[in-house]
Amino acid sequence: MLYAVLKTEGDILVDLSHYDQAIKCYKTLKDYCSQWPKMLTLKMKMYDQIGTSYRACRLYYVAISSYKKGLNLSYQLNHQEYELIFYERLALCYSLIEDFQRMTQYQKRAFNCIFEPSDGFNRINAQNFIDAKCRKHKLDA
């Protein structure tokens, strides 16, 4: 129930261009989702919402940071749809800061549906990071 209320409030605030308030809602929701491993998919989606709100505020480096956190969760969850979404979002942000090398890297992955291999460095690092956080919070992944 709390998820639905905060998500709706954040979406309305985005529609009204009140991005700073929307970011607060989405961050609260992300923190709420962090409490349970079964809600990691929702947490990943909140990183997307937070990044998109920061991008709308032209805070591109902060948006990139949020998208990369979401991308790491997509690796851990093996969520290929969001993996591609994050590649696309990262490509856009890198184009906006005129880092065309990184833009091209993420754009190629997004448009050609190139996923991180199951034994790839990024996916393994994401899994290890999530496992360590779960142990820290005494949760089972």
Mean of all residue pLDDT scores within the chain: 87
Task: Give the integer Cα–Cα distance in Å for 50 and 13.
Answer: 12
What is the mean predicted confidence (pLDDT) over 13-21?
Answer: 95
pLDDT at 140 over 60: no
* Domain-embedded: residue 141: no
What is the mean predicted confidence (pLDDT) over 19-23?
Answer: 95
Kindly indicate the confidence band of residue 127, based on its pLDDT and cuts at 50, 70 and 90. low
For 17-55, the DSSP string reads T-HHHHHHHHHHHHHHHTT-GGGHHHHHHHHHHHHHHHH
Q: Domain total for the chain?
A: 1
Q: For the segment 70-108, what is each residue's pLDDT rounded down to a tens digit?
A: 999 999 898 999 999 999 999 999 999 999 999 999 999
Q: Side chain identity at 57, as an amino acid letter?
A: C
> In which domain, by residue range, is 89 found?
2-136
Domain CATH number, residue 127: 1.25.40.10
CA 106 to chain centre: 14
